Amino acid sequence: MNILVIEDEERLAVLVKQGLEENGYATTLAFDGLTGKYLALQNDYDLIIMDIILPNINGIDLCKEVRAVKPDIPILMLTALGTTNDKVEAFDAGADDYLVKPFDFRELHVRLRALTKRSAVNSKRQDYILKYADLELNDQTKIVKRSGIEIVLTPKEFKLLEYMMQNSERVLSRTEIADKVWDTHFDTGTNFIDVYINYLRKKVDKNFEQKLIHTKAGMGFILRHGELN
């Protein structure tokens, strides 16, 4: 495994590198966004860890630029910013996971293993098209359509909708969605899952008479054609 760490706090970067290398990961460091961008685009890495607040290019913009060129590389954000809006912004930029400083290296290691495992599974998975009612999701082209009309989604919205379509007509709890879509434990102090469900509703249901995304009070969310009982 070859990992790029983009972190301007040199002491933290060195500690992360030491911990990664002790666990068998080859690690490259960059201390600013511009250097990180050059390394990320010029070399092949299995995963990128980056801070949000970086010199020259901030982590949000850097994540977008890397994701545009390398859409499948796992990206983990490290930052001291931990509000729901901060998390949503990071996920919208294309981040796969988000870890708030300060953190225990053991948690970082668990997150990395989950991301690399999911990446390996996805790379082996055959391309396919999911269909439910008049909704269609193409996992190869990343295009979503409803009644033939294309719907533009962010990477995290796409993953959330994909999981809901894979589990249509089944109530999905917030905990399950956090675990399966975000590879993280649900934090009851934030509402970022509800935020993303609302994003999907505005894009998938707003302009259509038949609503597909429903809330089961006190239980979670369900993709279903028709009203709940």
Which of 36, 100, 99 is CA-nearest to residue 70? 36
pLDDT in tens, 118-131: 665 555 444 578 98
Domain boundary assignment for the chain: 2-124, 129-223
Of the chain, the percentage scoring pLDDT greater than 90 comes to: 54
Residue 126: predicted pLDDT: 46
Q: Which of 192 and 222 is assigned the larger pLDDT? A: 222
Question: What was the pLDDT predicted at 229?
Answer: 58
Name the CATH code of domain 129-223 (choices 3.40.50.2020, 3.90.25.10, 3.60.20.30, 1.10.10.10).
1.10.10.10
Region 57-76: mean pLDDT is 91
- Flag whether the pTM goes above 0.85: no
What average pLDDT score do residues 148-163 get? 93
Cα separation, 14 vs 150, in Å, equals 45
**What six digits make up the tokens of 34?**
């511009």
Q: What is the largest CA-CA distance in the chain?
A: 56
Query: Predicted confidence band at 89 (pLDDT cuts at 50, 70, 90)?
Result: confident
Contact 81, 108 (CB under 8 A): no
pLDDT at 191: 85
Band the pLDDT of 141: cuts 50, 70, 90.
confident
Sequence-separated (6 or more) residues with CB below 8 Å from residue 42 = none
C-alpha angle 180/82/154, rounded to 5°?
50
| CATH domain 2-124 topology | Rossmann fold (3.40.50)
